[in-house]
Chains A and B, each alone.
Chain A
């Protein structure tokens, strides 16, 4: 792995050069939040963005797309939404999110609709600074060892650029003169200090190692029903989570000669129809059962299969759930605490 130096004023020229190779996407402001978008005007790029509303998964598996066209005679695959892309500004947690999706979509049942865009998307990571909701240090996803083509660490005076793949190296080779091979001792010191400061900047910490056991011990704890009573079954937590991957397919038909479409769209285990089977039987009819499934998956089951939680500490569920059901408040409840959350207030209200 090579590490190069890039002067701040050389970033745009670099982006200019690489955006001739593929569509450049990066986080831009959306209201007071951020979203990945295609950028031609680089000044739109939010270099100090916090989490985007929807993670980078939307590039690999769009929320809603056509898988194939069909007629009575046969079908024709539709990958027209896939193009060559360079995703710049991907934070460490989101890179880990994609690595998690890789496990799910590429191992047991390789999914061509995931593989194709994944192959055709280059990942250019960018360092970030935690806000009060980030806890990727607790999930050990605040640094990356793999899963990127290039990774930019944004220091005060310059960028340090990690080369993570030969494709990344090819991008550098388009404009090699912009980069400096020789890191000074001062650069190294600055980096080490930056890293230490960032490690200390996390305000949210969760003890994940205890959670699988606590999930088991709390399987019948009363707080699950409190969560269920407050949950709006809106699905938002799963839509925004970088490791949530469930989808549904629907056949759309048209009048006239137009072929049908098989639409694939994001689904959510928090929705009642998710666990309904033919005949109308529902395995998880109650909201608390569905939430328990979600948290079992994130904090316990995934750990026993892959040795780490299926949570990358991005904080999206913390800022998204309108009733504050999220990894932080659920972890607190598992620890026997009374978290500050609407769902807790509602429970108190009900017993008053």
Chain B
């Protein structure tokens, strides 16, 4: 008897749709993806989408409207397992690059003026775990093919994903790169989750942190290290904030305290 297939839904909230696009771009494996599981909903790839019970929901994008929040809560209610895919869903993405509430309102006005919103109420962008319990996080901006496929295959095989928790530096050393940070190039590898295969340092480009911060990212040490190396304070802060979403809020709060 054939094993019952997993019911999987792929959803997009606020983001560039890069993660969904990456899945569609897994050309050689696309048939296998659709064969291995029942893809119940995947707006980018098919038109007959159902909103029923799911074994696994893959959610891309951050929550930046009230409507998205409702949609997300509904996905959680219907799904046994929820996986955040991509930087926006995991940490909030560039649109959540940490600013405090007051700054957000100011910036929002600057961009949208006084337009009246009738469709839904906009909200400050947040990662999905601001509203729901998330079982697994698949990082990346966008997610990587290899990590996505092996995560997907593991889940289809009934196993939880096994993802790297260590920083980019580990993969970078596996590839025997001479450390850029030691050559006074501002690399964020030590703060950033591995999984990309250290592609940037492999090509002599410093890591910009696009896979988001590790659990233990030592922002204070790296921040002072870069200051010591003579980099500009604003540059360092911007670089660190870029892909860290709301995850480094506390760290930035410390600067505001210092300013006062």
The size bracket of the interface on A is: 35 or more
Cβ contact of B154, chosen from A253, A273, A323, cutoff 8 A: A253
Cβ contact of A239, chosen from B154, B170, B182, cutoff 8 A: B170
Cβ contact of B176, chosen from A53, A230, A349, cutoff 8 A: A53
In the assembled complex, B32 has its CB within 8 A of some CB on chain A: yes
With most chain B CB atoms within 10 A of its CB, the pick from A233, A236, A255, A256 is: A255
Contact A273 B165 (CB under 8 A): yes
Given the complex, which residues of B lie within 8 Å of A250, measured CB to CB? 162
**Interchain nearest-CB distance for B30 vs A (Å):** 10
The residue in chain A whose Cβ has the minimal distance to the Cβ of B169 is: A234
**Interchain nearest-CB distance for A112 vs B (Å):** 22
In the assembled complex, A266 has its CB within 8 A of some CB on chain B: yes
Given the complex, which residues of A lie within 8 Å of B167, measured CB to CB? 232-235
In the assembled complex, A30 has its CB within 8 A of some CB on chain B: yes
Take A235-B169, A251-B159 as given contacts and tell me if A322 and B216 are in contact as well, using a CB distance cutoff of 8 Å: no
Query: Interface on A for B, CB 8 Å cutoff?
Result: 30-33, 35, 53-54, 58, 63-64, 229-236, 239-240, 250-256, 260, 265-266, 268, 271-273, 287, 319-320, 322-323, 342, 345-346, 349
Take A232-B221, A251-B159, A255-B149 as given contacts and tell me if A272 and B182 are in contact as well, using a CB distance cutoff of 8 Å: no
**Interchain nearest-CB distance for A25 vs B (Å):** 13
User: Which one, B69-77, B79-87, B137-145, B222-230, is touching chain A?
Assistant: B222-230
Contacts A235-B169, A345-B228 known; list 10 others, CB within 8 Å: A30-B178, A32-B178, A233-B214, A234-B190, A253-B159, A255-B36, A255-B149, A255-B156, A268-B170, A349-B224
Given the complex, which residues of B lie within 8 Å of A252, measured CB to CB? 150, 153
Contact B218 A232 (CB under 8 A): yes
Contact B221 A58 (CB under 8 A): no
With most chain A CB atoms within 10 A of its CB, the pick from B174, B182, B191 is: B174
The residue in chain A whose Cβ has the minimal distance to the Cβ of B218 is: A232
Take A239-B173, A266-B174 as given contacts and tell me if A322 and B166 are in contact as well, using a CB distance cutoff of 8 Å: no
Cβ contact of B166, chosen from A31, A230, A235, cutoff 8 A: A235
Take A240-B173, A253-B153 as given contacts and tell me if A320 and B179 are in contact as well, using a CB distance cutoff of 8 Å: yes
Whole-angstrom CA separation of A260 from B189 in the bound complex = 29
Whole-angstrom CA separation of A231 from B215 in the bound complex = 14
Question: Could you tell me which residues of chain B, from 107 to 166, have a CB within 8 Å of some CB in chain A?
Answer: 149-150, 152-154, 156-157, 159, 162, 165-166
